[in-house]
Structure 1
């Protein structure tokens, strides 16, 4: 039962960061909680084999792969109607508008591109670390990052003006 208590402690400590990362991958808080729960349920099955030093990487890896798996499954389902643009009140702050614009643009990226951006920029990982986490080559991380940022510039050019050209083209 010592393994079980270690898992329980891990969940209590890491739940919020995992849900935040999952929210960036899914674009939705409720889906993020479901994704985090599913990743933790899968991790619990093999927790006795998980090295405590790499437990976070292990669970995040499950999180990323389950996110992509869900996208692949949905790809074969009929497309729901695209929701119209959110009508914001004129009193909304610039920060809220920027967050909404960024969230909308991120939702329109492929799951792989979102995963690369989340690992590289939200989690502030190097290309080598991102490649290890996502189980791909460093060149794949570089190209996916380049394609994702180009797509973001295309989908939301106002973000380049807000953040400055150097931050968006990083």
Structure 2
């Protein structure tokens, strides 16, 4: 299991940047942090890549997020929702990376969740530029739920674990996101209240 050796290459495999120290941590604290890192590193990198569109930028944002989390890990072990706090840290570091690179977030291949969200309106929504623009206008939590559940094919259970929230909240955010996207895209409502394409 990795530990802070004080060498020029840090515990996350990035040379030139020294991570926070684990001095004073007990074995349980060390093991719990590295278990958290192993569990979240891959999904964090995937979501960061979708939001940043660059492997290098995604890796930098995630490394910075874990460094920040590592510096507060002992405190986080005492809070009610450490995974939700960590998700907020990750999003903050992604935003910092976007701002530093002066680029807007560009959703990657969203065709998968575009088709699932709007199977009855796919032809109408084939203009993906409008769809991407609409996705950007969702709330951050709605956007994250959509990207994880449809862009990355996570179950609502797994998306909830990554985001540190209840599965019911993910399902609610997906329903709200679908309603909002249909509204933004101007898909008309049918008499029973469902939105559909009229030909």
The TM-score with structure 1 as length reference comes to 0.50
**Rg (Cα) greater in structure:** 2
TM-score relative to the length of structure 2? 0.44
